[in-house]
Structures are given as C-alpha cells and as structure tokens.
Amino acid sequence: MNWLLVIAGAMVGAPLRYVTDRAVQLRHDSVFPWGTLAVNVTGCLVLGVLTGAAVAGAAGDRVELLLGTGLCGALTTYSTFSYETLRLAEEGARFYAAANAVASVVAGLGAVFIGVAVARSFWG
C-alpha cells in the first residue's frame, strides 16, 4: 500500500515539475535555470510545512509518503540542478553557475525553514 501512495504523489509531482519549469523558464530570456530553481524551492517549502506538521503530529506516515516522498520527490530535481550548473560552467557562464549553486542552497534552506515556521504557527 505504501508504494501506491508514493506513486500517486509522483504522478502529480512529475508533471507539475515539467509544467512549472517550462512556464517559469518561458518568462525569462536568460540562460539561468529559473524553472528548476522555482520547482526546487517550492518543493523545499512544501517539505518544510510537511515536516513541521509531522513533528506536531498533524501529518502521519501516509501523508509523508504521499506528499514528501511522492510529490516532493518527483517535483524537485537535484540531478537537473547539478546538470544545469555544470552546463553553465562548461559554456563559460561561470557567474550564472555559481549564482545557481548559491541561490539554490540558500533559497532551498530558507524555504524549508519558512515552511517549518508556517507549520508551527498552525500546529505548534
């Protein structure tokens, strides 16, 4: 049963990642991977809220599997982030590569902390 929850979450997360990435990237005329940054930071925010809810006892194991492992696992993408950063560096856009690495880590961590804080305000 657990694997069905993961699959159900991933069935929403993967297409959501693709659609969001394309929509965001089309709005920016830049080599910077704004779409990947957006989905990764959004996933961190959702995972932060979920973590805060779980710690407070408001989200059980099934919700964590569905939303944390399934949805967020398919929505976010470390491999694409790594590939795009490497591609930027190899193409001579070293500033963008460094900015992508720093922005992804800082914004991702910031989003997860904000998510936990939001959850604590609701369930804390």
In the annotated binding site for Na(+), the residues are 73, 76
Q: How far is CA 97 from the centre of its chain?
A: 18
Whether 50 shows a pLDDT value over 90: the answer reads: yes
Tens digits of per-residue pLDDT, 86-98? 999 999 999 999 9
Q: What's the confidence (pLDDT) of residue 12?
A: 98
Question: pLDDT averaged over the chain?
Answer: 97
The pTM assigned to this predicted structure is 0.95
- HEC letters along 7-47: HHHHHHHHHHHHHHHHHHHHCCCCCCCHHHHHHHHHHHHHH
In the annotated binding site, the residues are 73, 76
Whether 61 shows a pLDDT value over 90: the answer reads: yes
Tens digits of per-residue pLDDT, 23-40? 999 999 999 999 999 999
